[in-house]
Structure 1
Amino acid sequence: MFPYRKILELHGDDVSLRGIAMMTRHSRQKVTEVIQLAERKGVKLPLDDDITDPWLEDFLYPEKKQEVNGRHSMDFERIHKELSKPNVTLTLLHDEYVREAHSAKKIPYAYRTFAEHYHNYAMKHKATMRIWRKPGEVLEVDWAGTTLSVVDPDTGEKRKVYVFIATLPCSQLFYVEGAYNMDLFSWVRLHQHTFEYIGGTPQIIVPDNLKTGVTKHTSKELILNKTYAEMAAHYETVIMPARVRSPKDKASVEGSVNIVTTWIIQALRNVTCFSLEELNQEIWGKLETLNNRPFQNRPGSRWSAFLEEEKFALSPLPDTPYKLSTWRKAKVRPDYHITVNSMFYSVPHELIGKEVEIKVSSHVIEVYFNHMRVASHQILYGKFGQFSTLKEHMPDNHRLYVEQTPEEAMKWAAEVGPFASQIVTFILNQYNVEKQALNAVFTLKKLERTYSSYEIEHACKLVLEATNRPTVKSVQTMIKTVHKEDERKASEINSETTDEKYGFTRGASYFGGKKNESTKL
């Protein structure tokens, strides 16, 4: 029998390749091949007693046993990796294997024998096969029932710390972290830390039916917390909560809770920490030891099994992490504002009295009505009662008042005409206090509610012809006078036109007016 075990043990004792070749009477090329193959497949020293030369040959060269009977060999490593892909089954892989055998003009194994050979290989060489999970498919998450504590350095009081546990059922890799609260913010943040730890995201997340993540879960209906669902969508994964009172749906994390409770929580029972950061450092130290602890009956550890058999199947992380946001509802106030944390944010005035949904993140709030975004504001900080008001949300009369700046005043006057611009310029220069000047201009602008721009410009022209010191009052008086005069002339013209056109109408001539006398003359 080829001395696989002796070669590996001599290499572990730092014997040179030349020395190993001389002692085992085999070529340096063959010795190098065995050592490199063992390192690639994760064989670790020291070797257990049950790892014999036949076991190592079967592990390093599984195809040798197949070649004896002349059948087409099976690539177990490729089969194992292909099975981790979504919707790839052993039946599909056997069909492909049969076509490969026919192309190579060799006899393939029947499906039953094919499956049996692969099963034996996986049970013997793959630490994860006894779980019967696809790599990268599921991540199970839960809170541990047992808690830890942190001591307040000032008061000496103990503050409770809840322990979050995430498990990949395929490789049985853990992630553990403590948090002061079991609220939505902590729940989402701990998921993000888990994704960062494993360097990717699974296809499915299986949580318990906690109110922080699941709003309603029955046999007919599933309603997830909106923030939790957004987080899953950002990381391109799916949340499938365990059925109510069905712990088997997340058996891996249920079992992990016991292991973590023993090897991490109870192992830290006599350790005193004065901050959450300090406690988590202790937790992560124990976690590293636990994930790297060798399996009892097979080579490798949880971490090595994860790197070799599961990490490749995880989806990559997005370019930017998810920014936590919360959702709430509010009714739009009569002043077309909503209240968020004692701050006021505007929405379109047409929504007064309507109920809207508000998405609140760390820097921005977004307002939605009928699933459409209608407003967005930067979060206000500092003294309570501040307002964030956008002009486009205001009614026209409110917007007219707010847009009171010298620049806006001159812009409006320019749109009316050159004579209006002269009067506005004179008003702005006349007052020492800018606010007084703007109030005067605002009063002038309100004429637009009753009169046209042409009438305002004409009144300004007449005022400037009459005085070098125009006032708003003079413009108001002039435009009213001109308007009344225009109405009187229009009335007279209408009366004369009517008298001439319709003979049956009793006009001035009927009553002996001047028109009748002049006609007689």
Structure 2
Amino acid sequence: MGQPPVGYTKFCEDYQRHIDQYRLTNHLKHKPGVSIQVDWSGSTMDLLDTDTGELITVYLFVGTLPYSQYTYVEPTLDMKSDTWLRCHINMFEYFGGTTIRLISDNLKTGVISHPKEGDIVLNEQYESLANHYVMAVMPAQVRKPKQKAAVEGAVGKIAMAVIAPLRNEIFTTMGELKAAIREKLEFYNAKPFQKREGSRRLIFTETEQEKLRPLPSIPYEIAEWVYGRTVKLDCHITFQKNNYSCPYQYVKKKVDLKVTAHFLEIYYQNERIATHKRFPTYKEYTFSTLPEHLPDQFNRLEWNEQRLLNWAQTIGPFTYKVIQRIFERLQLKEQGYQSCLSVLNLSKKHSNEALEKACQIALERLHSPRYRQLNTILNNPNNKEILEEAESAQKETLGFVRGPEYYGGDIND
């Protein structure tokens, strides 16, 4: 209001003059081997499911070395955290080394929070990967794409150099798609620059490759953390129905598990106390036991085994047979202590007679019943009358029991 109107042409000229004056940009000069920029491509590809005829969306991970603009591309079926990490590992192998800095977007697969002030909070696994390769993760500021301009530019160029030429081809397996993308990627990296001498591959091999930091001898393994597992009385913890030993000093204490594809590590208060080879997923109820984890008294196997068998014998012959068969299946007797105690402790929750009857029923159906089957029988309402009859019959067998007074107790002294 009150200002003289201007024409559209004059407005555009004045606005452009304002932009030129107040929004200056500087040409960024990158140093070789200092940083890698990574991101997901906005453009996607498709994979044909031959069974259903549906098209499966394929996402593209893109990593770029800003100095040479040498680029890595990998197709994936999702953008989950494990996939994000696996793409990084493969990218480092492709480049043949790592850099000091790793510049990413603020994706939840890598960055939990990026406040304007204060520390950046990284995803636990992403931080672990960076520590393994001794890199500093430096996420670009929110809504600041120029801070990772190299990969932003590479994403657009990959769409033209890789996705567009393959848009009319049909791929039915991920292997075929990866091979086609790798062929186009090699051509893209070898293609000469338009406004710069050489090509991405030439500058990478002649200048930048030697500046990269060497890869560690062992690649990073993606790990799953499991917290708060209790070390049992037999000096083992259980993970996915298999058992792994801990030093006996940590019995009844809470420990954390770091699980990779091949190993299982046990930590107590951030200190590693045991390492085991992980059992394959198809194995169940197996034991990985290191002898040094067991106390000296575990060498007296006969006494411990006999004590449990004696307890079972006081309950009844069927309970004794159940405990006996648990031990028969094990190479190390101490591996059965927890299972036997679980069974025998049912007599405290119910009664000796009820447990004995439950063992009889279970042995008619299974060769070696365990706690789970016996507990189900004891808590099954359909078995209530049978268990009560067993208790009554046992009491009748015992008959009338005279008190201590009859045999010369305090009253008759």
Whether these two folds match at TM > 0.5 is yes
Q: Which residue of 2 aligns with 1:388?
A: 288
Residue 174 of structure 1 is matched in structure 2 by 71
Pick from 234, 242, 254 the counterpart of residue 152 of structure 2. 254
Matching residue's letter, 2:145: P
Q: Given that residues 231 and 255 in structure 2 are in contact (C-alpha distance below 8 angstroms), is that contact kept between their aligned partners in structure 1?
A: no
Distance 1:401 1:214, change over 3 A: farther
CA distance in 2, matches of 1:213, 1:403: 54
**CA drift at 1:264:** 1.4
Question: Separation in 1 of the partners of 2:241 and 2:133?
Answer: 32
Relative to structure 1, the CA distance from residue 323 to residue 151 in structure 2 (aligned partners, 3 Å threshold; closer, same or farther) is: same
CA contact (8 A) 1:131 1:170 kept: no
1:401 aligns with 2:301: yes
Q: Does 1:379 align with 2:278?
A: yes
Alignment partner of 1:266 out of 137, 159, 164 = 164
The 8 Å contact of residues 207 and 241 in structure 1, kept in 2 or not, is answered as yes
Task: Answer whether contact 1:131 1:169 (CA < 8 A) is retained.
Answer: no
Alignment of 1:28-67 (within 5 A): none
Which of the residues 239, 243, 264 maps onto 2:137? 239
Q: 1:343 to 1:243 in 2, by over 3 A?
A: farther
1:295 is paired with a residue whose SS is: coil
Equivalent position amino acid for 1:324 in 2? I
State which of 209, 214, 232 in structure 2 corresponds to 1:316: 214
SS across alignment from 2:159:
helix
Separation of aligned partners in 2, 1:402 and 1:146 = 68
On the 8 A contact 1:148/1:162 being kept in 2, the answer is yes
**Which residue matches 1:49?**
none
Deviation at 1:290, TM superposition (A): 1.5
In structure 1, stretches of 5+ residues that fail to align are 1-128, 406-433, 440-521
Q: Deviations over 1:412-439 (max 9, x none)?
A: xxxxxxxxxxxxxxxxxxxxxx97xx99
Displacement of 1:402 in angstroms is: 7.7
1:310 alignment partner, SS class: helix
d(CA) in 2 for partners of 1:243, 1:165: 19
Counterpart residue identity of residue 184, structure 1:
S
Q: Distance in 2 between matches of 1:403 and 1:231?
A: 48
Q: Distance in 2 between matches of 1:182 and 1:258?
A: 19
Counterpart amino acid of residue 149 in structure 2: A
**What does residue 208 of structure 1 align with?**
105
Contact 2:231 2:254 in 1 (8 A): no
Which residue in the other structure is 1:230 paired with?
A: 128
The CA distance in 2 between the partners of 1:298 and 1:216, in whole Å, is: 38
Matches within 5 A, 1:290-369: 290-332=188-230, 334-335=232-233, 336-369=235-268
Alpha carbon RMSD of aligned pairs, Å?
Answer: 3.0
What SS does the corresponding residue of 1:161 show, helix, strand or coil? Answer: strand
Q: Identity of aligned pairs, percent? A: 41
Structure 2: distance between partners of 1:255 and 1:402: 72
What SS class does the counterpart of residue 145 from structure 1 fall into? coil
User: CA separation in 1, counterparts of 2:207 and 2:290?
Assistant: 55
Per-residue deviation, residues 233-274 of structure 1 (Å, max 9, x unmatched): 333322222223332221221222122122212332211111
Letter in 2 for 1:388: S
Q: Structure 1 320/403 Cα, relative in aligned 2: closer, same or farther at 3 Å?
A: farther
Q: Kindly indicate whether the alpha-carbon contact (under 8 Å) linking 2:59 and 2:77 is maintained by their aligned counterparts in 1.
A: yes
Structure possessing the higher radius of gyration over alpha carbons? 1
* Residues 130/344 of structure 1: CA separation in 2 closer, same or farther (3 Å cut): same
Q: Could you list the per-position Cα deviations for residues 180-218 of structure 1 after superposition, in whole angstroms to 9, with x for gaps in the alignment?
A: 232333222221222222222111111222232234433
Report the Cα offset of residue 132 of structure 1: 0.6
Shift of 1:396: 6.0
User: Greater RCO between the two (CA within 8 Å, min separation 6)?
Assistant: 2
Check the 8 A contact 2:35/2:101 in 1, yes or no: yes
Alpha-carbon spacing, 1:356–1:223, altered in 2? closer, same or farther (3 Å)? farther
Whether contact under 8 Å (2:264, 2:276) holds in the other structure is yes
Q: Distance in 2 between matches of 1:403 and 1:197?
A: 59
Give the corresponding residue for 2:185: 287
The code of the aligned residue for 1:376 comes to T
Aligned to 1:39: none
1:220 equivalent in structure 2: 118
For 1:157 and 1:201, locate their aligned partners in 2 and report how far apart those are by CA, in whole Å: 39
Unaligned runs of 5+ in 2: 1-25, 306-326, 334-413
Quote the Cα distance in structure 2 between the aligned partners of 1:319 and 1:213.
Answer: 24
How many residues of Structure 1 are paired with residues of Structure 2 in the alignment?
A: 281
Q: Distance in 1 between matches of 2:56 and 2:170?
A: 12
Mapping of residues 413-432 of structure 1, within 5 Å: none
SS class of match (1:189)? helix
Contact 1:200–1:314, Cα closer than 8 Å, also in 2: yes
Determine if the alignment matches structure 1 residue 162 to structure 2 residue 59. Answer: yes
Amino acid at match of 1:204: R
Distance in 1, matches of 2:182 and 2:253, equals 49
Offset, 1:178: 0.5
SS at 2:300 equivalent: helix
Residues 331-354 of structure 1: per-residue CA shift (max 9 Å, x gap): 215445433333232334543554
The alignment's TM-score, normalised by the length of structure 1, stands at 0.49
**SS of equivalent residue, structure 2 residue 143:** coil
Distance 1:403 1:315 in 2: 58
Output the CA distance in 2 between the equivalents of 1:403 and 1:135.
69
Q: Distance in 1 between matches of 2:274 and 2:93?
A: 33
Among candidates 82, 91, 100, match of residue 185 of structure 1: 82
